[in-house]
Amino acid sequence: MRERKKPEDLRSARWFTPDDLRSFGHRSRMMQLGYGEEDFANRPIIGVLNTWSELNTCHAHFRERVQDVKRGVLQAGAFAVELPSLSVDESFIKPTSMLYRNLLAIETEEMIRCHPLDGVVLMGGCDKTTPGLVMGAISAGVPMIYLPAGPMLRGNYAGKPLGSGSDAWKYWDERRAGNISDAEWLGIQGGIARSAGTCMTMGTASTMTAIADAMGLTLPGASSIPAVDSEHQRMSAACGRRIVEMVWEDLTPDQIITEAACRNAAVVAMATGCSTNAVVHLIAMARRAGINLTLDDLDALGRITPLIANVRPSGKDYLMEDFYYAGGLRALMKQMEDRLDLSALTVTGKTMGENLQGAKVYNADVIRPLSNPVYEEGSLAVLRGNLCPDGAVIKPAACDPKFHVHQGPALVFDSYPEMKKAVDNENLEITPDHVMVLRNAGPHGGPGFPEWGMLPIPKALIKQGHRDMLRISDARMSGTSYGACVLHVAPESYIGGPLALLKTGDIVRLDLPNRRLDMLVDEGELAKRKAAWVAPAPRFERGYGHIFLQHVTQADKGCDFDFLETDFGRSAGEPEI
């Protein structure tokens, strides 16, 4: 750890200390806000980046919670300013929130860099907000602590627990099969999201906040605390107190986000059941930190890491509230201590090993011992083959094992509306052996890499009682989804990846044990199809979408913008004004 800072070394001192006209302006503007020099001079200025919005239902409590953070900052003798940040919500944004993760990352980096901030508290949680905020803050390089929104309470309808996303898909299939009345459907609609907080399955939000926790970016175990639990308020105040100390200690993100921290995060992600989205975000976060974490590294960990969090959708029975009562993430990490690098430094200023001391499992069915996992392995597998030379991912644990080795004829759709029409057709000619394919749904094609990858099972098969089939796309899927879905096919079809060459009726073969995904079409024929392929027009010709298409990397590289992937601290520098 570096030497303790003195007030004159603070970054904000550049704004407030000099006896010149510019600093006079800065000080007078603070006084305009009603603050005297005793409030802000010679004290760390802490930015609280708040991703609250009235359309971000998962962050509904952030409007009040920010006051708890500020309380903590003040208690520790510093000055807090709230900065509203781009609120990338998962529920309402079209075509997909993923389009805006990088915009949040850019905004975060730039708002930190241009303002007189010595440290930041990042308030996020809904899917893309965790990676967006963290990626930006890594590049900005000032001390930061991540404050996870926390999961919402368990859903409930008619005395039964309901899980975010997962139960929506499940009951929707039942409704399509004609098994659910309008009144029941309305009851489920009202019961599936009962409080502020993020989705309470182990979806993308819970996986990503667990990753931030395991990387050492949150107070220990903070990611498991339900949003509306009073412990969440106390944790928020503690974040405020701790960030001030981090500023004095000069505990910057480059000391925390090391190769060891990324590996710890990946191991923990696998043990929790790991949303497939985590793969894209984890790679992007690591690459921001100058660490080349690859799909193959994640596949290797997926093969040896047992899934021990019995939380849906990969686990069978429980939800995030149960996970918290069972001991939360600290307890899970304690169970697998010997697979983690306990020397990794964290925001507490202590090592991960020290943070885990005393953690206990209170319910061994929710957080399983390594000797009794939910699955021995299989949170995630990375496939390669002539359909996905740069990789594709699948969640073996979340699909019917009969599809682990499967061969069948492709039914290919070029767009979501075309696919939707077909799946709603009760007379569609399709067998359970068919392989449904949706293309033009990647970063360029979607556009923005939407969560369309859990293609609905065609009505024609639902009525026969089928609930799973092999599906392939260059899209992502929601972390709360399940089924035999191959996702993130790279390179994507819209830029000419081999998925663009597949035709309805071609035989596709998945061989999960050997990590292969191929179309059984001979090379001469594929070369002919490739020569005839014509690149479609870009999805955006102007605005942010245009920037996105110019610079987004493919799924295997994390979909960051190429120009943002820098090493720590390498920026254009701050002008001397």
- CA-to-CA distance for 478 and 118, rounded, in angstroms? 36
Alpha-carbon gap, residue 315 to 302, rounded angstroms: 15
What are φ and ψ of residue 455, in 5° steps? -60, 135
Minimum CB separation from ligand FES for residue 246, in Å? 27
The one among 51, 85, 139, 198 contacting ligand FES by CB under 6 A: 198
Q: Is 56 in the site for Mg ion (CB under 5 A)?
A: no
Angle at 536 between CA 533 and CA 539, to 5 degrees: 155
Q: Is 127 in the site for ligand FES (CB under 6 A)?
A: yes
Whole-angstrom distance, CA of residue 239 vs CA of residue 243: 6
Q: Cα dihedral angle (202, 207, 209, 212), rounded to 10 degrees?
A: 150
**Residue 96 within binding range of Mg ion, rule CB under 5 A:** no
Q: How far is CA 185 from CA 11, 155, 200, 222, 482, in A?
A: 55, 14, 20, 34, 21
Which segment (200-208, 229-237, 428-436, 458-466) binds Mg ion by CB under 5 A?
Answer: 200-208
Strands of 68-111 (E only): list them: 79-84
Indicate the residue among 277 and 348 with the shorter CB distance to ligand FES. Answer: 277
Encoded one letter per residue, x for contact with Mg ion by CB under 5 A and - for no contact, window 148-187 reads ----------------------------------------
If binding is defined by CB under 6 A, does position 419 make contact with ligand FES?
A: no
Closer CB to ligand FES, 130 or 305, in the complex: 130
Decide which of ligand FES, Mg ion, none touches 126; Cβ closer than 5 to 8 Å per partner kind: ligand FES
Supply the Cα-derived Rg of the chain in whole angstroms.
24
Contact positions with ligand FES (CB under 6 A) in 146-175: 164
The site partner of 91 among Mg ion, ligand FES, none (C-beta below 5 to 8 Å per kind) is ligand FES
Helix (H, G, I), strand (E, B) or coil at 297: helix
Q: Which of 85, 440, 478, 493 binds Mg ion (CB under 5 A)?
A: 478
260 binds, among Mg ion, ligand FES, none (CB under 5 to 8 A by kind): none
Q: Which of 83, 64, 75, 74 is nearest to 121 (CA)?
A: 83
Stretch of 198-206, 275-283, 343-351, 409-417 contacting ligand FES, by CB under 6 A: 198-206
Instruction: Sketch the per residue contact string, 480 through 519, with ligand FES: x for CB under 6 A, - otherwise.
Output: ----------------------------------------
274 scored as a contact of ligand FES (CB under 6 A): no
Return left, alpha or beta for 72; rule: phi > 0 is left, psi -120 to 50 is alpha, else beta. Answer: alpha
Please report how close the Cβ of residue 197 comes to ligand FES at its closest, in angstroms: 8
Residue 475 contacts residue 450 (beta carbons within 8 Å): yes
Asked whether 310 and 202 are in contact (CB, 8 A), the reply is: no
Q: Which listed range, 199-207, 334-342, 508-516, 540-548, lies at the site for ligand FES (CB under 6 A)?
A: 199-207
Closer CB to Mg ion, 335 or 478, in the complex: 478
For residues 55 and 300, which CB has a smaller minimum distance to ligand FES in the complex?
55
| 86/344 with CB nearer ligand FES | 86
Provide CB contacts within 8 A for 119, sequence distance 6+.
44, 46, 47, 142, 143, 144, 145, 243, 244, 246, 247
User: Which residues, at least 6 apart from 219, have a Cβ–Cβ distance to it below 8 Å?
Assistant: 145, 235, 238, 239, 242, 347, 348
The residue from 43, 62, 69, 90 that contacts ligand FES (CB under 6 A) is 90
Q: Which of 57, 166, 204, 218 binds Mg ion (CB under 5 A)?
A: 204
Q: Is 571 in the site for ligand FES (CB under 6 A)?
A: no
HSE of 94 in the Cβ direction (CA atoms, 13 Å)? 0
Q: Which long-range contacts (CB under 8 A, 24 or more apart) does 11-15 make?
A: 11/116, 11/117, 11/118, 11/142, 12/40, 12/44, 12/45, 12/116, 12/117, 12/118, 13/42, 14/116, 15/116
Question: Should residue 477 be labelled a site residue for ligand FES when binding is judged by CB under 6 A?
Answer: no
Q: Per rule CB under 6 A, is residue 199 in the interface with ligand FES? A: yes
Give the range of 25-33, 89-97, 483-491, 531-539 binding Mg ion by CB under 5 A. 89-97
- Is residue 205 involved in binding ligand FES (CB under 6 A)? yes
> In terms of CB distance, is 198 or 272 closer to ligand FES?
198
In contact, 397 and 373? CB cutoff 8 Å = no
Q: Kindly give the residue spans of alpha helices, DSSP state H, lying in 8-86.
A: 13-16, 21-32, 37-40, 62-75
Which positions lie near Mg ion, rule CB under 5 A?
90, 127, 203-204, 478
Q: Which residues of this chain interact with ligand FES, rule CB under 6 A?
A: 58, 90-91, 126-127, 164, 198-199, 203, 205
